[in-house]
Amino acid sequence: MQNDCEQKRALDALVDESWEALLDRDPYIALAAGRKVAAFGCGDLAEAEAAAADARARRDRLDAIDVSGLDRTDRMTAAFLGNLLDTEIDAPQRWWTSFGIAPYSGLFLSMIPKMLFPPIDLADPDEAARYLRLAAGFSASVDALRERVEAQAGRGWRLPRPALPGARRALEGNASMAVAAVLLADDRTAGGETRAAVTAIVEERLKPAFGRLLAAIGPDYEAAAPEAAGLMHQPGGADAYRLWLRYHLGFDGDPADIHRTGLNEVAMLAAEMARVRSERFGHDGDEAAFHEQLRHDPKAMASSPEALEATYNRHLDRMKPVFARMFRKAPRARGVVKRLPLELEAGMTFGYYAAPPEDGADGIYYYSGNGIPDRMQMNAAALIFHELVPGHHVHLSRQQENAALPEIRRNLPISTAFNEGWAEYASGLGEEAGLFDDPYDYYGFLSHQRFVAQRLVVDTGLNALGWTLEEAHAYMSANTLEKPEQVTSDILRYATDLPGQALCYRWGCLKFRELRARAEAALGPKFDLADFHEAILDQGALPITVLEQSLDQWAAERLAAGK
């Protein structure tokens, strides 16, 4: 017993140390955790290498801790930390193989300043000094990103030409929003010296840094950039893609196997959609003709943002009794729907979920009201179940509220495959409960599933199997309801911006279904769905391989206890 207590103290100390190091290094995580950011890391290679070296040392210390006598939560904390440290060890490789100037991966350039600078109280001299340090540090990080782009180009890594126009537009927009976030509005309380110093940093350092970054991807860069998109066309790109698969999925996935799984999933869903078109809509023509018909069907559309919001809330109301049957405990935080601020709508087709920023606050799905009369909304039920209940809002809020978990596990969304896989799996519980009884909702659910399933095909096709952008565009267009411009945006996301990330939705969902079937087989008549969901949510987000361990141990404990 004494030795187990010592092992737990060693584990807790290492967990706390790793968390504090992460907070010191990553301002986004620190802000999301409600911490005050003292400094702004520049994000250069030396920083990535230092983080990797620290992670190796902590990994050795973790391996020396015997967790076999600890409870399941502590054992999962150790496995969680091990996965995190392994990921940090790979940080220098990801530094070389990630385009931080692409639209999605470059969002931090505007997101962090908007989170960081406005709340700082400039009437406090110490806080005003911190503001100036952070503004200077942020300017240096933009220059460090430019140096990274140049270093990557020196190794032959460049954004492909088709992605450059979008990258430049996104960079210009991020620069504008970042400058606006750092500059002091007239109504902000600040001393004259502070205001002048902020203005000087923006004019003399921040704006020129963004200008140099834009110039770095100018005509000379473009002339040497590849025409073909996908990591396989970059030097060493095949190995880099496998690295990113491991980062997002949590295991060493085989692109060819994932591709075949995607083809099978898309074919299965296409067959079911054809059946529904024939049996529920009386349409035996081709799919394209049916989808064109839907674009003129009021039942497939929303007449206004208010009407769409009412539809979301109607589906959430229908989910309430289902949730009570399938889950043991709801989060304390409410999950609500709100429209995006108008200034953000032009750049977002859908929206995003924001977890409660503090205890007592709401989790919010912000939806885009942009272009609603022209967009089909048949997937409204599937989407809101994914984003709020029982999807993202339930697992993220439960995790934040779970005092039994260490802070690092409450606040760090470590696994894309868990986060998006859970949300997709949870959305499917609506079908299991009969909530897609309306043929429009069911067809929208199927089309949404096929949308995320085709990513398994297109992402691997572009990055590992030699697909051209034209082939990817044709396949995605044939297997989604998206318009051509949205298809173009998505395939560039897969090929140049976040390779491997989009696989997590369907692949993660399939893993949750597989783990449920495994638990049902192990427990037989003792299996209870609500208890299974509690076993998942009670541990928070875990890398999928760690989740497998957790659920296997949970099932073994239940069998041993005779429950």
The alpha carbon dihedral of 321, 326, 332, 338 has a sign of negative
Q: What is the average pLDDT value for the chain, to the nearest integer?
A: 93
Cα gap 480→487, rounded to integer Å? 9
In which residue are the tokens 């495994």 written?
518
pLDDT per residue over 94-132, tens digit each? 999 999 899 888 888 988 999 899 999 999 999 999 999
pLDDT per residue over 414-441, tens digit each? 778 999 999 999 999 999 999 999 999 9
Question: Which pLDDT band holds residue 2 (cuts at 50, 70, 90)?
Answer: low
pLDDT reading at 278 higher than 90? yes
pLDDT per residue over 447-471, tens digit each? 999 999 999 999 999 999 999 999 9
Start-to-end CA distance of the chain, whole Å, equals 27
Q: Any alpha helices (H) in 301-372, and if so which ranges?
A: 305-326, 342-345
**Radius of gyration (C-alpha) of the chain in whole angstroms:** 24
Instruction: Give the count of alpha carbons within 13 A of 124, CB side only.
Output: 7
How high is the pLDDT of residue 342? 76
pLDDT per residue over 507-552, tens digit each? 999 999 999 999 999 999 999 999 999 999 999 999 999 999 999 9
Could you give phi then psi for residue 101, rounded to 5 degrees? Answer: -100, -5
pLDDT per residue over 363-402, tens digit each? 999 998 887 888 888 999 999 999 999 999 999 999 999 9
Angle ∠(562,429,440) on CA atoms, nearest 5: 160
Instruction: Give the count of alpha carbons within 13 A of 530, CB side only.
Output: 9
Type of residue at 111: M
**Ramachandran quadrant class, 353 (left: phi over 0; alpha: psi -120 to 50; beta: rest):** beta
